[in-house]
Amino acid sequence: MEYAEKVVDSSILLLERSGVTVENTDLLGLLSGYGATIHDQIARFPDRLSRALLQPQPQEPPDPPRVTAVAEMYEGKYLSLNGEYEDITEENWLEYLKLSKHLPGLSGMVTLGCPISGVPDALQPLYEKLYCWKWGASGGDAIWDSRLLHPLLDLWQARAAHSGRRVEEMFRATVYMLSPLKLGAVEAGQVMFFHRHGLQTQVGTMCALGSSAPVTHAGAQVVQLAERMFTVHLSRALFGRGRLSAGNNLGVTDMATAAFCYGRPESNQLIREAAYLARKMGLPQHHHAGLTDAHTPSFEAGVQKTASALLSAIYAGHGNIAAGLLAVDAVCSPVQMALDGELCSFLNKSLAPVTYTEDDFCLDALLAHPHGDTFLDQEHTAMHARALWQPNCFTRRMLDLGTKTRQDAGQRAADLCRAVLREKPPLEPLISAEEERDILQIIKRSEQYVI
């Protein structure tokens, strides 16, 4: 049997025989009405239901492959421009966001949680919304503590009211399965709470070879596809809609340390395999890419981010770089963000199609040009030189051993960051004082539930 068929058939068989543990009675009831067989908190899905997810979807004509770089920030440390690991403060959080809006090659910032010193851990999902909405970061998906469900609903309703939009149009929330094949009681209850209010919570999956998934590629792909199918089954059971997509979110477990890793060559192989599955099934695809296990800006970080972002772009048409993120997702670095913006620009130039006009062949100039002479002073060069890629951090000069001051790309990236912070205007709030007051009142009321 062909590889793709074997993965698909095995995933369908896994959902039919083993099923998925769902630790919520109400969700199990909805899945039963959808067609799943329920027994002892396990939902099993008949072959016909899962095969119904595999209808090829209309595909737009592919655009040239491209890469985007979006700064990301999670819990962890801030690697300052001086090379020190610092706690994340409001000051350096805003500094990081400002850089994401102005550094070349960057497309803004996404954050999960609000890991700012002084913000109680229990209230991070609430402050996350305040900081994202006020200052223009993306994200705002965190739920975490079920005691925050009512305050979170209040926040989204306030946001919709101030924006003049329906809350269903704006709402964002994500929970993750407990791989393999389990939607835990906390996450299932959160999904069900928002469903009762007509709001859809996204359910994500994230496994690692050797720990939460089999160590073999094929076995891990079976689990990954089965979990993706389950999330679509769940969406259809709750909302009557949902489309299957393919892609790779798998990490790799280091067998010597049990560390979760993104930057291993197996991750790149998994991207190729998942892209092949997507093409065979006729499904859209998106891959987790542009990440690194390195703790500092380094050769390791550059190789790992480049490989997965480039392969995703080549095989799926789009690659992403988690700009500034190091140590899986435990460190955010302005220097790395600037380097990742440069990398994004470099890759997009490398991937861009080359077009030709009659003038590009330069035949008239070549026929008139003296043999052995330079083209630097030619009008044709002046007319076309701006099409060449222009770096900000890469080396632009030949080696001069007589020069006392030499810089590497990291030092130039730090200087670029300092210039942006110095020259660009401060960030301006994007919400009104009234909306900020309403948000803070909701957060204040919620303290009684969790602190």
Q: pLDDT (tens digit, 9 = 90+) per residue, 320-351?
A: 999 999 999 999 999 999 999 999 999 999 99
Q: Report d(CA 122, CA 176) in Å as an integer.
A: 18
Q: What are phi and psi of 265, to 5 degrees?
A: -60, -25
Contact between 6 and 280 under an 8 Å Cβ cutoff? The reply is: no
Nearest to 91 by CA among 64, 65, 130, 118: 118
Q: What is the pLDDT confidence band of residue 412, given thresholds at 50, 70 and 90?
A: very high
- The pLDDT of 369-389, averaged and rounded, is 91
Q: Report d(CA 184, CA 16) in Å as an integer.
A: 19
Tell me the residue type at 170: M
Sign of CA dihedral 299, 304, 307, 313: negative
Contact between 189 and 24 under an 8 Å Cβ cutoff? The reply is: yes
Beta strands per DSSP E along 331-380: 331-332
Same-domain check for residues 325 and 200: yes
Q: Report d(CA 345, CA 352) in Å as an integer.
A: 10
Contact between 341 and 416 under an 8 Å Cβ cutoff? The reply is: no
Q: Report d(CA 95, CA 98) in Å as an integer.
A: 5
Same-domain check for residues 48 and 68: no
In this predicted structure, the answer to whether residue 406 has a pLDDT above a threshold of 90 is no
Same-domain check for residues 44 and 75: no
**Residue 269 included in any domain:** no
Q: What is the pLDDT of residue 399?
A: 84
**Residue 9 included in any domain:** yes
Same-domain check for residues 82 and 43: no
Same-domain check for residues 15 and 118: no
Q: What is the pLDDT of residue 198?
A: 97
Length of the chain (residues): 451
Same-domain check for residues 39 and 175: no
Nearest to 229 by CA among 38, 34, 24, 45: 45
Number of domains the chain contains:
2
Contact between 75 and 39 under an 8 Å Cβ cutoff? The reply is: no
Task: Encode pLDDT of 276-316 as tens digits.
Answer: 999 999 999 999 999 999 999 999 999 999 999 999 999 99
Contact between 339 and 303 under an 8 Å Cβ cutoff? The reply is: no
Within 10 Å of residue 325's Cβ, how many Cβ atoms?
Answer: 27
Task: Encode pLDDT of 154-179 as tens digits.
Answer: 999 999 999 999 999 999 999 999 99
Within 10 Å of residue 84's Cβ, how many Cβ atoms?
Answer: 9
Tell me how far CA of residue 153 lies from CA of 64, 176, 439, 443, in angstroms. 40, 19, 11, 12
Same-domain check for residues 14 and 93: no
Q: What are phi and psi of 447, to 5 degrees?
A: -60, -30
Task: Encode pLDDT of 190-231 as tens digits.
Answer: 999 999 999 999 999 999 999 999 999 999 999 999 999 999
Tell me the residue type at 149: L
Nearest to 88 by CA among 239, 44, 97, 103: 97
Contact between 337 and 83 under an 8 Å Cβ cutoff? The reply is: no
Same-domain check for residues 197 and 70: yes
Structural domain that includes position 335 = 63-206+288-353+432-446
Nearest to 237 by CA among 33, 47, 53: 33
Provide the 8-state DSSP code for 407. -
Provide the 8-state DSSP code for 181. S
Give one DSSP letter per residue of 61-117, joined into a string. PPPPPEEEEEEEE-SSEEE-TTS-EE---HHHHHHHHHHHHHSTTEEEEEESS---T
Q: What is the pLDDT of residue 138?
A: 95
**Residue 26 included in any domain:** yes
**Residue 161 included in any domain:** yes
Counting residues of the chain whose pLDDT is more than 70, the rounded percentage is: 99
Same-domain check for residues 96 and 198: yes
- The pLDDT of 232-260, averaged and rounded, is 97
As given in the structure block, the two tokens for residue 59 are 């595909």
Contact between 340 and 378 under an 8 Å Cβ cutoff? The reply is: no
Number of H helices, E strands in the chain: 16, 17
Same-domain check for residues 15 and 108: no
Describe the crossing of helices 433-450 and 124-135 by its angle, rounded to 10 degrees: 170
Same-domain check for residues 90 and 165: yes
Q: Report d(CA 174, CA 152) in Å as an integer.
A: 13
Contact between 436 and 130 under an 8 Å Cβ cutoff? The reply is: yes
**Residue 77 included in any domain:** yes
Q: What is the pLDDT confidence band of residue 1, given thresholds at 50, 70 and 90?
A: low
Q: What are phi and psi of 142, to 5 degrees?
A: -70, 140
Nearest to 296 by CA among 132, 418, 131, 408: 408
Element at 168 (helix H, strand E): helix 167-170
**Residue 407 included in any domain:** no
Tell me how far CA of residue 341 lies from CA of 36, 120, 138, 291, 304, in angstroms. 46, 32, 18, 13, 15
Same-domain check for residues 33 and 76: no
**Residue 233 included in any domain:** no
**Residue 387 included in any domain:** no
Task: Encode pLDDT of 416-429 as tens digits.
Answer: 999 999 999 999 99
In this predicted structure, the answer to whether residue 124 has a pLDDT above a threshold of 70 is yes
